[in-house]
Amino acid sequence: MAEFNVFHLHDFTLQSGVVLRNAYIAYKTFGDPSNPAIVYPTWYSGLISDNEWLIGEGMALNPNKYFIIIPALFGNGQSMSPSNTPEPRPFPHITMLDNVTAQHRFVTEKLRVKHLKAVLGWSMGAAQTFQWITQYPDFVDLAVPFCGAARCSLHNQVFLEGVKGALIAAKGAASGGISNGEAVAASEYRTWTAKESEIGLKALGRVYAGWGFSQAFYREKLYETHLGFKDLEEFLVGFWEATPKIC
Q: What backbone torsions phi and psi does residue 54 show, to the nearest 5 degrees? A: -90, 0
Q: How confident is the model at residue 1 (pLDDT cuts 50, 70, 90)?
A: very low
- Percent residues over pLDDT 90 in the chain: 70
Residues in CB range of 198: below 8 A, 6 or more apart: none
Structural domain boundaries of the chain? Answer: 5-146, 154-241
d(CA 185, CA 147): 36
Query: Would you put residue 112 in left (φ > 0), alpha (ψ -120 to 50) or beta?
Result: left
Per-residue confidence (pLDDT) for residue 189, from 0 to 100:
77
The class level of CATH for 5-146 reads alpha beta
pLDDT in tens, 158-187: 988 999 999 999 988 888 888 777 777 777
Predicted structure pTM score: 0.85
Exposed / middle / buried, residue 107 (Cβ in 10 Å: 0-12, 13-18, 19+): buried
